[in-house]
C-alpha cells in the first residue's frame, strides 16, 4: 500500500504574529475551514513556481504547454515571469467555494461552502462536494444550483392518495 504524504508544510515559525493575522484575514475572506487550506494553496503555488523555474531553460513548446495548462485552470499567466509572481490568493480565487460566492449563487462565502458540502452545487451537471475543487475556465459558466426533488415527490404522492380513496368508495358502493 502506498503511503500518503502531506500536501502542505507547516510554517517554520508557528507563532509569527504578522503571519497569523494575515492568515486570519484570508480565512475570513475566502471562508476557509482552517489554516491547513491556506498552506495547501501555498504549497501548490510553490510547486507551480518550481516547475516554472525548471522550464526557464526548456524549449518553447514545453513552456507553451505549461502556460496553457495554467490558463485552463484560470490563472492569468502569459509568461514565466507571470507564473513566478503568482500568489496564494490567485489560487484561492479559483476554488469552487469562491466562484459560487462571486457568481452570487450563495449569499455569503460560508453559505457557499455549506451548499457545496451538502451537495447542492452542480458543475457541468455533476455534484461536486469539495469546496477546494479548482474550477477550470470552461466549466465556470456551467455552475448551477441543484433543483429540489421534493416537489416531484409531492406530485407523485397525491395521485396515490386519490387512488386509495377511490378504492374505498368502490368498496363502500359494492356493499
User: Do 82 and 150 sit in the same domain of this protein?
Assistant: no
Alpha carbon separation from 7 to 10, 40, 41, 51, 173 (Å, rounded): 10, 6, 9, 16, 73
pLDDT tens-digit readout, 69-118: 999 999 999 999 999 999 999 999 999 999 999 999 999 999 999 999 99
User: Do 110 and 82 sit in the same domain of this protein?
Assistant: no
pLDDT tens-digit readout, 43-57: 999 999 999 999 999
pLDDT reading at 170 higher than 90: no
> For residue 155, what are the domain limits?
95-160
Query: In the structure, what pLDDT confidence band is assigned to residue 154 with cuts at 50, 70 and 90?
Result: low
pLDDT tens-digit readout, 22-48: 999 999 999 999 999 999 999 999 999
User: Do 114 and 132 sit in the same domain of this protein?
Assistant: yes
Whole-number Å distance between alpha carbons of 90 and 38: 12
- Grid cell 484570508 is found at 26
What is the total count of domains within the chain?
Answer: 2
pLDDT of residue 1: 86
User: Do 86 and 16 sit in the same domain of this protein?
Assistant: yes
pLDDT of residue 168: 55
What pTM value is reported for the model?
0.80
pLDDT reading at 158 higher than 60: no
Whole-number Å distance between alpha carbons of 166 and 164: 5
Query: In the structure, what pLDDT confidence band is assigned to residue 17 with cuts at 50, 70 and 90?
Result: very high
CATH number of the domain enclosing 124 = 3.10.290.10
Mean pLDDT for 133-142 is: 95
- Grid cell 500568489 is found at 87
pLDDT of residue 148: 82
Between 153 and 78, where is the model more confident?
78
Between 155 and 101, where is the model more confident?
101
User: Do 85 and 18 sit in the same domain of this protein?
Assistant: yes
To the nearest whole number, what is the mean pLDDT of the chain? 89
Q: Locate 175 and state its grid cell.
A: 356493499
pLDDT of residue 155: 55
User: Do 110 and 73 sit in the same domain of this protein?
Assistant: no
Amino acid at each position: 500500500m502506498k503511503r500518503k504524504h502531506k500536501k502542505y508544510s507547516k510554517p517554520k515559525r508557528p507563532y509569527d504574529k504578522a503571519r497569523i493575522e494575515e492568515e486570519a484575514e484570508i480565512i475570513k475572506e475566502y471562508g476557509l475551514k482552517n489554516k491547513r487550506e491556506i498552506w495547501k494553496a501555498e504549497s501548490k503555488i510553490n510547486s507551480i513556481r518550481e516547475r516554472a523555474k525548471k522550464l526557464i531553460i526548456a524549449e518553447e513548446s514545453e513552456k507553451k504547454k505549461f502556460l496553457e495548462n495554467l490558463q485552463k485552470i484560470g490563472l492569468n499567466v502569459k509568461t514565466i515571469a507571470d507564473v513566478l509572481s503568482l500568489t496564494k490568493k490567485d489560487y484561492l480565487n479559483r476554488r469552487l467555494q469562491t466562484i459560487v460566492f462571486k457568481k452570487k449563487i450563495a449569499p455569503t462565502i460560508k453559505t457557499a461552502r455549506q451548499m457545496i458540502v451538502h451537495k447542492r452545487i452542480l458543475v457541468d451537471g455533476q455534484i461536486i462536494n469539495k469546496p477546494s475543487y479548482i474550477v477550470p475556465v470552461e466549466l465556470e459558466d456551467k455552475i448551477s444550483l441543484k433543483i429540489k426533488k421534493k416537489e416531484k415527490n409531492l406530485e407523485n404522492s397525491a395521485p396515490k392518495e386519490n387512488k386509495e380513496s377511490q378504492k374505498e368508495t368502490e368498496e363502500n358502493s359494492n356493499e
